[in-house]
Amino acid sequence: MKGGDSTTYKRKEIPMGNKERMQTADRYNAHMLLHPNDDGKPKNKQITWGNVGKRTKKLNAFYKNHVYTFIDTDMNKGWVYIGGEEE
């Protein structure tokens, strides 16, 4: 790979040079549409014992409002909303 842009070589199916220029605010809004749960903070890769994270809180709220049970006559199982706060 002597010549050319290395990013165009790695991703041949996506034309990298034909992207339109965007303002920073427009790029931020487009990113937030694709990643709504991204709060813009770097992730803490260390283990912090005793601290409950955002994902655990969401899971606990989900388990409080749902139950895993049979959903049809063919014995298929799935999560069913049982009450509590509206999602």
Domain ranges of the chain: 52-87
User: Which residues on adjacent β-strands are paired with residue 77?
Assistant: 70
Most confident of 4-8, 20-24, 39-43, 82-86: 20-24
pLDDT of 84 > 90? The answer is no
Considering the entire predicted model, what is its pTM? 0.43
Task: Give the per-residue pLDDT at 1.
Answer: 47
Residue 83: which of 71, 66, 69, 68 has the closest Cα? 66
Task: Give the per-residue pLDDT at 66.
Answer: 93
The end-to-end CA distance of the chain, in Å, is: 51
pLDDT 10s digits, 11-68: 566 665 566 788 999 988 988 898 888 877 887 777 777 778 888 899 999 999 999 9
Contact 68/79 with Cβ under 8 angstroms?
yes
Query: What is the Cα–Cα distance from 28 to 71, expressed in whole angstroms?
Result: 41
Contact 34/53 with Cβ under 8 angstroms?
no
